[in-house]
Amino acid sequence: MAPRVLVSDELSETAVQIFRDRGVEVDYLPKLGKDKEALATVIDQYDGLAIRSATKVTEKLLEKATRLKVIGRAGIGVDNVDIPAASKKGVIVMNTPFGNSITTAEHAIAMMFAVARQLPEANASTQAGKWEKSRFMGVELFNKTLGVIGAGNIGGIVSDRALGLKMKVVAYDPFLSDERAHAMGVTKVELDELLARADFITLHVPLTDKTRNILSAENLAKTKKGVRIINCARGGLLDEAALAEALKSGHVAGAALDVFEVEPASESPLFNLPNVVCTPHLGAATTEAQENVALQVAEQMSDYLLTGAVQNALNMPNVTAEEAAVMGPWIKLASHLGAFIGQMTEEPIKAINILYDGTVAGMNLAALNSAVIAGVLKAQNPDVNLVSAPIVAKERGIQISTTRQDKTGTFDAYIKVTMVTEKRERSVAGTCFSDGKPRFIQIKGINIDAEIGAHMLYTANADVPGIIGLLGMTMGKNHVNIANFTLGRSGIGKEAIAILYLDQAIDPKVVNTLESTGMFQQVKPLHFEVA
């Protein structure tokens, strides 16, 4: 029986025809995604679900999807898909991470022109019968400094276009290496320097805990007077109320926003302010981009349903069915090792060296490498997946090296990941026992036996009396329950580490309390996807 796919959002007719041409039965019901009750009644009839942003794939919907094998998102954003719930159900979630990059970058450039020359207001004034030449005095882009926050795929395209306009480009990105910056033709700077130097600032980062309100009231105050700000990335990256005040005071000369904290945006403190340009999340809204992502998702889903091939999956690596049964726990381990490195590292990474020892050295190392790299990069960019991770690492100039070796020690197999930056090297090793559970077995050369939990707290300190008591007392005073506790040290009186297993994410205030004692070299909350 031919696999059956439901298209529940607006999708190109050409993409729908691809399903049919490949031998996949397809029902094109583009309004169904907005009716969650109706969708829930029919979802059990389908092997695949092709969506854009309107369809919400919740845990409740997935419970009804008894046949579902794959969800394909035409576009990059998967905020509307419960990926952990899909993973638990064994449903692959695919996206098309690079199909709309040029379109989004071009929209940012267009918005920059619009706010530089006050085009929307000038258009409205002229069409109202006015002729206000003196009112609309703009600025040139030529020789101005563009500050790019986020120098990934889209930020890189924006930088290239800006250089073509003879702008000077400074870029802030924790993962941007000196070599990659040089190749792009941009100057790598810290955030404060970018804020102080830029005539225009454009945002191209995902929304994470680290990037939320990256243009806060405090940071807006650090910007150059007369700066113009463009956001075509994600709502929540800037404080809209603070930006409105900065516009009213004249400190910020203009702003152009395609995205908002709440969407659809029916109201905002930025609406109806002079020299503010707003568009309704049009970053990916071109005929070419819509067509590209639609065709890509149709091909990817057809490949999987007909041949088992996996491309651009967010919750599964590119491995065969035979490999998956053996490699599953090791892929999890590789991802956790990468996630540890990524969360512990804030400076640009130059190289990632991965050592495979024992039986794991004979597995599909491409998939394991991708899992490590994705784990590292997801700390800064949650949109990275197992397929796109090597591409993103290459774009950022991160060197990846792999070493295989026969069994050398106590463990039948282990993986060791070493991260190299300008300032330091950091390593972590792990293995999988017969129970299939990944474990950390060494951190910074210190032997340890630590299962991996969802919420953990890592500390490093000198091996002196009182540390354990201090940790326990501080947790107790702040009502933080310690589920488990693991210790390790390099030697008596030397460096020691501790890992606390917590029931939930720790309050940053508790972390600050521990740091303020002066007893710890490092205090780092960690989160791992253990489902």
Q: pLDDT tens across 395-415, in order?
A: 889 999 999 999 888 899 999
| Nearest-5° Cα angle at 483, 477 to 487 | 90
| Residue 172 DSSP SS3 | strand
Q: Provide the annotated active-site residues.
A: 234, 263, 281
| Nearest-5° Cα angle at 346, 342 to 348 | 90
Give the pLDDT score at 327: 82
Distance of alpha carbon 62 from alpha carbon 98, whole angstroms: 27
| Residue 462 DSSP SS3 | strand
Q: Yes or no: is domain 317-452 CATH 3.30.930.10?
A: no
Give the pLDDT score at 212: 94
How do the domains of the chain map onto residue ranges? 4-99+289-308, 101-278, 317-452, 453-531
CA atoms within 13 A on the CB side of 341: 36
Cα-based torsion angle of the residue sequence 447, 451, 456, 461 in order, rounded to the nearest 10 degrees = -10
Q: Where do runs of H (alpha helix) occur along 345-420? A: 365-378, 389-395
Other Cβ atoms within 10 Å of 238 Cβ, number: 29
Distance of alpha carbon 195 from alpha carbon 289, whole angstroms: 32
Give the pLDDT score at 508: 92
User: Are 146 and 200 within 8 A, CB to CB?
Assistant: yes
CATH code: domain 4-99+289-308 is 3.40.50.720
Give the pLDDT score at 219: 97
CATH code: domain 453-531 is 3.30.70.260
Give the pLDDT score at 531: 65
Domains 4-99+289-308 and 101-278 share a fold: yes
User: Are 197 and 224 within 8 A, CB to CB?
Assistant: yes
Letter for the amino acid at 514? L
Give the pLDDT score at 319: 63
Tally of residues, the chain: 531
Give the pLDDT score at 181: 94
Q: What is the fold, at CATH topology level, of the domain defined by 101-278?
A: Rossmann fold (3.40.50)
Q: Write down the number of H helices and E strands in the chain.
A: 17, 22
Taking only the tens place, the pLDDT of each residue in 456-507 is: 999 999 989 999 999 999 999 999 999 999 999 988 889 999 999 999 999 9
Per-residue pLDDT of the chain in tens (531 residues, 90 and over written 9): 899 999 999 998 999 999 999 999 999 999 999 999 999 999 999 999 999 989 999 999 999 999 999 999 998 878 899 988 888 787 899 998 888 899 999 999 999 999 999 999 999 999 999 999 989 999 999 999 999 999 988 999 999 999 999 999 999 998 898 999 999 999 999 999 999 999 999 999 988 888 999 999 999 999 999 999 999 999 999 999 999 999 999 999 999 999 999 988 999 999 999 999 999 999 988 989 889 999 999 999 998 898 877 888 888 766 665 666 678 889 899 999 999 999 998 888 999 999 999 999 999 888 899 899 999 998 888 878 776 788 788 888 999 999 999 988 889 999 999 999 988 899 999 999 888 889 999 998 999 999 999 999 999 999 899 999 999 999 999 999 999 999 999 888 899 999 999 999 999 999 999 999 999 999 999 999 886
Distances (CA, A) of 234 to 207, 273, 363, 524: 6, 21, 38, 27
**57: DSSP letter:** B
Give the pLDDT score at 315: 80
Token pair 């404060």 in the structure block, residue? 192
Residue-by-residue DSSP string for 401-413: EEEEE---SSSSE
CA atoms within 13 A on the CB side of 130: 11
